[in-house]
Chains A and B, each alone.
Chain A
Amino acid sequence: MTLARRDDDLYLIDLLDRLLAGGVVITGDVTISLAGVDLVQISLRALISSVSRLVEP
């Protein structure tokens, strides 16, 4: 089984797809934070701000 070596950024995107939209989400009052709350929104905000930092002169 071979796994093609990939560009690091693309790999990060695959990883974030999985870690921010996948994985078990435990709801309930013992978790102090992030019981699935808008995590994808948060990461998108992070990505947007990093993209606009790149685009802005």
Chain B
Amino acid sequence: MSDTLVYLYAVGRAALRTVVPAGLTGIAGAPVRALVADRLAAVVSSVDALGFGAEALRRNLDDLSWLAATARTHHSVVDAVWRREPVAPLRLGTVYVGDDNVRAMLHEREAAFLALLSRIRGRQEWGVKAFTATDPDVEPDEEGDGAELRPGAAYLQRKREVRDRTSRLRAEVHDAVEDLHRVLATSAQQSRRYVLQDPRLSGHPPNLVLNAAYLVEQATSSAFTSAVDGWRSPYLQVELTGPWAPYSFATLEES
């Protein structure tokens, strides 16, 4: 038993042992169980060394369909437990050798996990994305009013007008994004902005201008979601996802 690999989904208080739904399955259909160590419990399932040994894991993470399936399973387990008891989700791909090592880790990190769990108790994560209605980097193809100028001068003037218009638009979009984020962040306990990566890498559409997560008190979450739904801006289209388990705010503060 000692070298069975154990995949960790989340960590919560020991009470979560009673809320892991019977019949809940994890990666490769393995039964999900709670591993208790004093005041904490980890939500785990056993995994195959062929898929999750250090080397195999590294290889598999390069396989998008494997990654997608693992991410979906990881999330479905986290979500099933989180809706019943606050838990701190773990990063995808956290694997230990044997139950004993998981328990040892829970002992070692007990204080940090308890602090994290009280920070996220009663709070939910909401995701907010904003897209520009038009892509500010695309130069509008319009006629300037330089028709009476010589062709070279008219060309330059048109270029200048387009450039000015583009940078004005970009500044207005920027202000609208900062406005939205400021309003949402003040009604949240914590916020986090994700980097807007190259759309070819991240898969995000090119006109994504805000990708942020907000940690919101459950009691005020309907006010938060109405604020998002009711947000009107000529420059932005706003999209809400959630509620999520607090993935974006699950960080241990090591003492």
A contact set with B: CB distance below 8 Å: 1, 3-4, 6, 9, 11-26, 28, 30-34, 36, 39, 42-51
Query: Cα distance A25–B91 when bound, in Å?
Result: 6
Total number of B residues with any Cβ neighbor in A under 8 Å: 58
B59-108 CB contacts (< 8 Å) to partner A: 61-64, 67-68, 71-72, 74-75, 88-97, 101, 104-105, 108
Q: A4-B240, A17-B194 are in contact. Are A46 and B61 (CB under 8 A)?
A: yes
Q: Is the CB of B252 within 8 A of A39?
A: no
CB contacts (< 8 Å) of B5 on chain A: these are 32
Query: Cα distance A27–B222 when bound, in Å?
Result: 36
Give 24 pairs: A residue, B residue, CB < 8 Å, sorted on A. A4-B240, A11-B241, A14-B241, A15-B75, A16-B67, A17-B194, A19-B91, A19-B247, A20-B91, A22-B91, A24-B113, A24-B250, A24-B252, A25-B91, A31-B96, A32-B5, A33-B54, A34-B94, A42-B58, A44-B197, A44-B202, A51-B200, A51-B201, A51-B203
Query: Cα distance A36–B243 when bound, in Å?
Result: 25
CB contacts (< 8 Å) of A44 on chain B: these are 197, 201-202
B contact set with A: CB distance below 8 Å: 5, 11, 53-54, 57-58, 61-64, 67-68, 71-72, 74-75, 88-97, 101, 104-105, 108-109, 113, 116, 127, 194, 197, 200-204, 211, 213, 221-222, 225, 239-244, 247-252
Q: Is the CB of A31 within 8 A of B58?
A: no
CB contacts (< 8 Å) of B240 on chain A: these are 4
Given A20-B92, A30-B104, A32-B95; 13 other pairs, CB 8 A cutoff: A4-B240, A6-B241, A13-B202, A22-B247, A24-B89, A31-B95, A33-B57, A33-B93, A33-B95, A39-B93, A43-B67, A44-B197, A51-B201
CB contacts (< 8 Å) of A51 on chain B: these are 200-201, 203
CB contacts (< 8 Å) of A50 on chain B: these are 64
CB distance from B105 to the nearest CB of A (A): 5
Query: Cα distance A21–B92 when bound, in Å?
Result: 9
Q: A34-B57, A46-B63, A50-B64 are in contact. Are A18 and B11 (CB under 8 A)?
A: no
Query: Cα distance A50–B68 when bound, in Å?
Result: 12
Query: Cα distance A3–B247 when bound, in Å?
Result: 18
CB contacts (< 8 Å) of A36 on chain B: these are 91
CB distance from B219 to the nearest CB of A (A): 13
